[in-house]
Amino acid sequence: TGQVIRRNGVIVSREQAEEAEGDKLKRLNAEQLSMWGKGAKQIELEKEKVEYEDKIKEQPFTRYTIDQEYDEKLKEKERFEDPMRDLAQSKKESGTRKLRCKFTAPPNRYEIEPGYRWDGVDRSNGYESKLLRSRNERKANEADAYRWRTEDMQSIWCRHNFQLYHR
């Protein structure tokens, strides 16, 4: 009952098996244990950061000329006031293209575009179109009411100016 059979067929006592497991964990070095909580990308980024810091340590404290690497870093930095910023962004994004739907979608209140897999069939119950139509009608009515309210003032102002200049 106190025996453990391993895959290779060796019969070992339970105490010996537990001791072997303990030895196995002790053999793992500190580097492997520290890697367990991190991913490969994080480890790679950490190494790059250490290499960059070592490279910076070797450089002099003051820079009289701009070296090639620093110049590239400055060129890649995006500035808000840069008039060529949009062109540079379009060049960067030319490699990756966002998939878009080939159908024209009915307007909606949040101006959300349909997904690229949409088949072009409007399956709504009509609420969205009624809502947008009522909003547009309300705005149009307000604009017409404003024109009607100010029409008299405009005609009086025009008559007044006409009389001033043509006496």
pLDDT of residue 92: 65
Using DSSP's 3-state secondary structure scheme, residue 110 falls into coil
pLDDT of residue 166: 65
β-partners of residue 4 are 12
Written as one letter, the residue type at 100 is R
Task: With CA atoms as reference, report the closest residue to 122 among 104, 140, 138.
Answer: 104
pLDDT of residue 151: 76
What does the pLDDT profile of the chain (167 residues) look like in tens digits? 567 666 566 776 777 777 777 777 677 666 676 667 777 788 889 999 999 899 888 888 887 888 888 888 888 888 888 888 877 776 666 666 788 899 999 999 999 999 999 999 999 999 999 999 999 999 999 998 888 888 776 666 666 666 666 65
Residue 103 CB partners (closer than 8 Å, separation 6+): 114, 118, 119, 120
Contact 106, 128 (CB under 8 A): yes
pLDDT of residue 14: 74
CA angle 113, 114, 115 (to 5 degrees): 120
pLDDT of residue 5: 63
**Does an H or E element contain 165, and which?**
helix 127-165
CA 82/CA 37 separation, integer angstroms? 42
**pTM for the structure as a whole:** 0.38
Q: What backbone phi and psi angles, to 5 degrees, belong to 151?
A: -65, -40
Contact 5, 11 (CB under 8 A): yes
pLDDT of residue 94: 62
CA 156/CA 19 separation, integer angstroms? 105
